[in-house]
Structure 1
Amino acid sequence: MPRVVVFDETGGPEVLRVVEEPVVEPATGEVRVRIEAFAVNPLDQMVRAGQSPRPVRLPNARLGVEGTGVIDALGSGVTGLAVGDPVILAALPEFATKGAYAEYITVSASQVVPRPAGLDVTDAAAFWVTYFTAYGALVERAGMRPGDQVLITAASGGVGRAAIQIANQIGAVPIAVTRHTAKVRSLLDAGAAAVIATDREDVAESTRRHTAGAGADIILDAVLGPGLAELSLAARLGGTLAVVGWLDPRPASFPANPSLTIHRYMAFADMTDPQTVSRVAAFLSAGVRTGALRPRVDRVFGLDDIVEAHRYLEKGTPEGKIVVTV
């Protein structure tokens, strides 16, 4: 029988286990996807550890909000898709009961999008959530335009690197923020116009230096925490702050720049809107086709090594996405 990753209690990576479960036949309007690879995300770690923003039903809970594979079976009434089509999972709101950490998954046909030509399986597994989040926050919410100075925190992560590429694709100016001087070269190579390493520089002061004293037009923040007040001072008056994550679980400080327009962006809400999904998919596919967008995969694990994959995520050092092949 097909294998799936489950957990019966919250805790460390060791609570994850691989079990066998019967394959599910697709109902009307559904497709079954044979998963080829999936990504391991910080949200997965939070859910597994019992820090989920919403309750998780135990036992036999699942994980996984993104993955890629091939359509294996069609339910009645499905049009525009065929068995054998390579797809990306576009929305998994029920990931705690029907997550991508599995060999097969059955979902609504509206929850898959065609896999862009030019992406191999590993890259495709690392693509959708990070690039959707970066595009949605920067373009759909913050209204990023050519010439905008964009400050990107946690820039070494998946969303950060996606934001750098998307800013460059549009003609904005990405300024990356990292905690470690050792990552400066890598981020410059990834397309950042400048890099601020907070182990040696002040964010607000350095941002003003890189923006001729004006400050950033947009800040894309994946950290939150008590440093938010200081970070807000890096924005220009009337600038925009788009928050996409909470890597620092401590209470966030109130922004010290009262003129900011603040967006708390949750990509999973937009992923259930067909028009937004179609718009984002078109933009991302064009970026892949031209070579402007290419995910960075830090490390690849096998399904039997899922515990080690989560241990690696908890180290907090990945430069790019962690992918598990099935």
Structure 2
Amino acid sequence: MRAVVYTEPGPSSVLRVVDRPIPEPGPGEVRVRLRRAGVNPTDWKARGGSTYGAMPYPEVTPGQDGAGDVDALGPGVSGLRVGDAVWLLLAQHGRAYGTAAEYVVLPAARAVPLPGRSGTADYDLGACLGVPAVTAHRALTSGDGGDRLGPGAMAGQTVLVAGGAGAVGNAAIQLARWSGATVITTVSGAAKAALATAAGAHHVVNYRSGDVAAEIGALAPAGVDLVVEVAPAPNNDLDRAVLRDFGTVAIYANNGGDELTLPVRATFAKNLRYQFVILYGLTPALLRAAADDIGAALADGALRVGEDAGLPLHRYPLAETAAAHDAVQAGTVGKVLLEV
């Protein structure tokens, strides 16, 4: 099979396309013939050395996300069959080989049925889930997995999604709206406002013009219940100003700065809660809850991708994985996919 590998951390030029034997699944594992692979910022950060420092394995194939068909089952696997269409999550977490390859072997729990597959468009959708949709799910929920999404689950709540034109922001908008919330999002300009509106945001605010806190306050006079935050350092004063008492800030990235400073008295005066989100520490129960809710949203047609859903797709052949990594690192708006 063809696979993209690197044997030392560094720029995208360390990536090579090689031939490797098709791997065999072990107990509790499945093998998936990949059709699409998603590229996320975590991929280039790990490759560049900022995640692990030293190489965690002698050879690494990047890629946490993807979609394809179950090709083989290891001993003890139930609930999946050969030929099932699946989307993948955390395919490379704790393993050397991820989704930038023609085949991948991974624990069966990380291969989730892709309902209603009717062509390559659905492989595109499946490869856009994983990191963005599971991150968005966790940002919108809390607790040990008992807090779930679904129609009516967030009825009466107002959610502010910072950076609604990004992949996580797009998924958060769609999942929150599916769950019944009113969704406000902030963006940096007209083009991104159009994308956030296409994703389903009820209200879009340009954070580069006007009094943003006043605009959000007019839209949510009682205060926002939850902020899905991509840039906590520059946005903390705004978040505190627009949140209701007992509101929550769910932080999943460090855009705009690595240090977050907040005024203690003004923050605890509102009984605010801060939730930090990273997928790699989530328990199996939390991952299963996310996969189940995302599957239900897919079945309802509530998760979409493409320009008309606010998430433009940028496709690269497997041989151009380096260029795909560079595109994500450069901040390409939309979702970068590998055609496997």
Looking at structure 2, the residues matched to 95 and 17 of structure 1 have their Cα atoms a distance apart, in angstroms, of 21
Which residue in 2 is equivalent to 1:323? Answer: 337
> CA 1:322–1:67 in structure 2 vs 1: closer, same or farther (change >3 Å)?
same
Corresponding residue number in structure 2 for 1:180: 189
What is the match of residue 327 of structure 2? 312
Q: Is the 8 A contact 2:9 2:55 kept in 1?
A: no
Instruction: Report 1:1-326 matches (<5 A).
Output: 2-52=1-51, 56-57=55-56, 59-92=58-91, 94=93, 97-118=96-117, 120-141=122-143, 145-212=154-221, 214-254=222-262, 257-258=267-268, 259-270=271-282, 272-273=283-284, 275-295=285-305, 296-319=311-334, 321-326=335-340
1:306 partner letter: T
How many residues get paired? Answer: 321
Q: 1:306: Cα distance to partner?
A: 0.9
Same amino acid, percent of matched pairs: 33
Assess if the C-alpha contact under 8 Å between 1:116 and 1:285 holds in 2. Answer: yes
Distance 1:30 1:286 in 2: 24
**Aligned-CA RMSD value:** 2.4
Structure-1 separation of matches of 2:189 and 2:51:
28
SS of 2:227's partner is: strand
Any stretches of 5+ residues in structure 1 without a counterpart? Answer: none
In 2, distance between residues paired with 1:245 and 1:55? 23
AA aligned to 1:207 is: I
Measure the CA separation in 2 of the matches of 1:94 and 1:128: 12
How big is the shift at 1:54? Answer: 7.1
Q: Secondary structure at the match of 2:275?
A: strand
Letter in 2 for 1:302: P
Distance 1:42 1:232 in 2: 28
**TM-aligned CA deviation for residue 318 of structure 1:** 1.2
Could you say which residue in structure 1 is the equivalent of 2:308?
Answer: none
2:239·2:249 contact (CA, 8 Å) conserved in 1?
no
1:155-212 deviations in whole A, cap 9, x for unaligned?
1011101111111111111111112233212222321111111221343232212212
TM-score, normalised with respect to structure 2: 0.86
Query: How far off is 1:223 after superposition?
Result: 2.2
Q: Distance in 2 between matches of 1:46 and 1:202?
A: 35
Cα distance in 2 between the residues matched to 1:23 and 1:102: 10
1-structure distance, mates of 2:313, 2:200:
17
2:90/2:130 contact within 8 Å kept: no
Q: TM-score, normalised by structure 1?
A: 0.89
Structure 2 residues not aligned, in runs of 5+: 306-310
AA in 1 matched with 2:43: D
Q: Any conservation in 2 of the 1:229–1:253 contact (CA below 8 Å)?
A: no
Are residues 307 and 234 of structure 1, via their aligned partners in 2, closer, same or farther at CA, if it must alter by over 3 Å? Answer: same
State which drifts further: 167-176 or 5-14: 5-14
Q: Deviations over 1:229-248 (max 9, x none)?
A: 44332212221111122233
Structure 2 vs 1, CA of residues 176 and 20 (structure 1 numbering), >3 Å: closer, same or farther?
same
Residue type of the partner of 2:210?
Answer: E
Q: Summarize the Cα distance change of 1:199–1:133 in structure 2 as closer, same or farther, 3 Å threshold.
A: same
Q: Secondary structure at the match of 2:69?
A: strand
How far apart are the structure 1 equivalents of 2:162 and 2:176? 14
Q: Which shows bigger deviation, 310-319 or 278-287?
A: 278-287
